[in-house]
Amino acid sequence: MLDEAEVAEYLDRIGAKKPDTADLEGLRHLQERHVLSVPFENIDYHLDRTIHLGEQVVDKIVRGRRGGGCYEVNSAFAVLLASLGYAVEILPGRVYRPDGLGPAMCHLAVRVTVGGEPWLVDAGFGRNSRHPLRLTTSDVQRDPHGEYRISRAQGGGHDVELDGRPLYRLDDRPCRLDDFGPTLWWWRTSPDSPFLQELFCSMPLADGRVTLKNNRLVRVEGGVRTIEKLDGEEAVLAAYRTHFGMMLDELPQGGGVNRTVGIQLT
């Protein structure tokens, strides 16, 4: 749990106001600010740095002004929400791939119960909603990022779709952060890991999205899409500063794939 000063620092990082009570209005505000402030990125995977889960990620996001993958971003957000009095549970998920569902425990999402009703909170998937999604209905839920639908999956759990395309399947059973250790090792070491293919950083805008993949900067705003190929490391580092507020001191060399494992769960 975060103390009062740490909560205030986290809220300042994402430009959010502290809710008066742990209610749905406050949850919507917190998720929106988190999604619009903390990028989905994999830089530390390519720099062979230790990947933390839980409270230790807060320092990276808040003081380092960085982002991360779902294991990092959603687990840190869960710590903030719990510190603000929300009832929080960690849910594991399986990501849909072109050939079907991927392995278990490859996604980490958050279930928050407000007024007796469960809500899906996901700020770290890349195609996640901007606002919490109700888990008790299969109706389409309209969000600034598209139309989401959550339906009961055959055999248990929930399938989450965006604009008719499946994203991932969530398990109903909450788990511990330690349970993600084996799959975090896979994400960090396997040549098949999507996080070890290309360097990426992406974040929604109020009316669009900005994405930097290797040295290719794509910005979509107001329906207008621009693409810029950046020339040299200094131009790439400047793009991270300008578009994501990230003050990096180095970039991975040669794609950044490195098999040395650094994993920290607490």
The tokens for 6 are: 């740490």
The tokens for 226 are: 């621009």
Secondary structure in 3-state letters for 164-211: CEEEEEECCCCCCHHHHHHHHHHHHHCCCCHHHCCCEEEEEECCEEEE
Q: Which contiguous run of DSSP H or E holds residue 242?
A: helix 233-244
| Same domain, yes or no: 130 and 9 | yes
15 assigned to some structural domain = yes
The tokens for 5 are: 């000063």
How much is the average pLDDT of 164-179? 97
| Same domain, yes or no: 144 and 18 | yes
CATH number at residue 98: 3.30.2140.20
In which domain, by residue range, is 100 found?
4-177
- Dihedral over alpha carbons 242, 246, 249, 254 (to 10 degrees): -90
pLDDT tens figures, 135-162: 999 999 999 999 999 999 988 999 999 9
Q: Can you give the pTM of this predicted structure?
A: 0.93
230 assigned to some structural domain = yes
Kindly tell me if the per-residue pLDDT of 202 is higher than 80.
yes
Domain count along the chain: 2
142 assigned to some structural domain = yes
Residue 264 confidence class, pLDDT cut points 50, 70, 90: very low
> Which residues have a Cβ under 8 Å from the Cβ of 190 and sit 6 or more positions away?
196
pLDDT at 254: 53
260 assigned to some structural domain = no
| Same domain, yes or no: 92 and 154 | yes
| Same domain, yes or no: 102 and 223 | no
| Same domain, yes or no: 238 and 163 | no
189 assigned to some structural domain = no
pLDDT tens figures, 95-119: 999 999 988 999 999 999 999 999 9
pLDDT tens figures, 207-237: 999 999 999 999 999 999 999 999 999 999 9
Torsion sign (Cα): 99, 261, 46, 171: positive
**33-36: Cβ within 8 A, 24+ apart:** 34/73, 34/77, 34/123, 35/123, 35/128, 35/130, 35/204, 36/130, 36/203, 36/204, 36/205, 36/206
| Same domain, yes or no: 167 and 206 | no
C-alpha distances (whole Å) from 23 to each of 17, 29, 73, 111, 114 are 13, 10, 21, 14, 6
pLDDT at 263: 34
How much is the average pLDDT of 39-53? 94
